């Protein structure tokens, strides 16, 4: 594998940032080598600068997408950290359903829109869908819109298909839910259609405008802003605030905080979980 030169790190970091918003510094040389080194070998390129040049000259943008797929972490698992899904099931959803039901005329189903803003290969979305399924039991009174978005084409493709290998399926998924909501497909497991049909997936770069998606009742944006600069982080959460219904909820990563990042939110606590709501004017 070709080692990255000191003078190649900055231009490669700038190129990755321009594609994804992911901010990396000279300390991440090992990451560039591990993610992009095999590409250089496959393409017969002599340097990381050659990779940038080739990607920029590729009108099909396929190489650009391979670079995005390689650099996005896609570290995920079912019911990751547990507590976000507990607070979703026992606090957020019941409160929203109560408030929406109270406002409903009774003739139309109660509508809830949920967005997983960095869904990776779909485990978070399907974890949310399972919570919804078990809480609402397919009650026709509720019209649930569940959407997952990610920057990586490869991640979105797998999420849309909903198939996972043994390693992926055993990360966080309880045995009872595996048996109930998945079916064996060769050496892998595939999400059952009743859960798969609850979600839609699409490619989206969080650095670009997304106000066309409309308002949401619940937004999951976990463990992605940590890769952004502080200014990009502030900008992202300001725009997410614009996307929330007045009584909506934002769930971020367990190691993340909005203190000093976006003052439009206030933290709410439920047992051992933290979620965020907009400050009331």
Q: For 46-80, b where at least 16 C-beta lie within 10 A, e where not — what string?
A: eebbebbeebeeeeeeebbbbbbbbbbbbebbbbb
Write down the pLDDT at residue 158: 95
Backbone angles phi, psi at 189, to 5 degrees: -125, 140
Write down the pLDDT at residue 239: 98
What CATH number has the domain spanning 6-71? 1.10.155
Region for 68 from its dihedrals, namely left if φ exceeds 0, alpha if ψ lies in -120 to 50, beta otherwise: alpha
- Between CA 276 and CA 70 the distance in angstroms is 31
Tens-level pLDDT at each residue, the chain (281 residues): 788 888 999 999 999 999 999 998 877 778 888 999 989 999 999 999 999 999 999 999 999 999 999 988 777 899 998 999 999 999 999 999 888 887 776 667 788 999 999 999 999 999 999 999 999 876 777 888 999 999 999 999 999 999 999 999 988 899 999 999 999 988 999 999 999 999 999 999 999 999 999 999 999 999 999 999 999 999 999 999 999 999 999 999 988 999 999 999 999 999 889 999 999 87
Residues with Cβ within 8 Å of residue 259, at least 6 apart in sequence: none
What CATH number has the domain spanning 83-278? 3.40.50.150
- Between CA 167 and CA 105 the distance in angstroms is 47
Strand ranges for 90-198 from DSSP E: 110-116, 142-150, 163-164, 182-185, 188-191
Domain ranges of the chain: 6-71, 83-278
Q: Which helix (H) or strand (E) holds 274?
A: strand 273-278
Tens digits of per-residue pLDDT, 128-172? Answer: 999 999 998 767 778 889 999 999 999 999 999 999 999 999 888
């Amino acid at each position: 594998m070709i080692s990255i030169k000191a003078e190649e790190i900055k231009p490669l970091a700038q190129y990755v940032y321009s594609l994804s918003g992911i901010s990396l510094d000279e300390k991440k040389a090992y990451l560039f080598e591990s993610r992009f080194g095999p590409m250089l070998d496959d393409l017969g390129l002599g340097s990381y600068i050659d990779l940038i040049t080739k990607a920029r000259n590729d009108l099909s943008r396929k190489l650009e997408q391979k670079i995005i797929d390689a650099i996005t972490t896609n570290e995920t698992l079912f019911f990751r950290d547990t507590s976000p899904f507990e607070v979703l099931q026992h606090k957020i959803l019941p409160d929203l359903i109560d408030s929406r039901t109270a406002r409903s005329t009774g003739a139309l189903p109660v509508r809830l829109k949920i967005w997983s803003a960095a869904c990776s290969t779909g485990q978070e979305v399907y974890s949310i869908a399972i919570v919804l399924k078990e809480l609402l039991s397919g009650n026709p009174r509720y019209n649930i819109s569940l959407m997952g978005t990610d920057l990586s084409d490869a991640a979105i493709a797998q999420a849309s298909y909903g198939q996972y290998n043994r390693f992926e399926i055993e990360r966080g998924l309880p045995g009872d839910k595996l048996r109930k909501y998945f079916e064996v497909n060769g050496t892998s497991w595939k999400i059952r259609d009743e859960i798969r049909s609850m979600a839609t997936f699409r490619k989206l770069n969080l650095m670009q405008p997304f106000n066309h998606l409309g308002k949401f009742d619940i937004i999951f944006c976990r463990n992605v802003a940590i890769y952004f600069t502080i200014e990009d982080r502030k900008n992202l959460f300001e725009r997410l605030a614009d996307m929330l219904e007045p009584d909506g909820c934002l769930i971020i990563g367990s190691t993340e905080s909005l203190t000093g990042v976006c003052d439009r939110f206030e933290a709410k606590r439920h047992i051992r979980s933290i979620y965020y709501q907009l400050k009331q004017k």
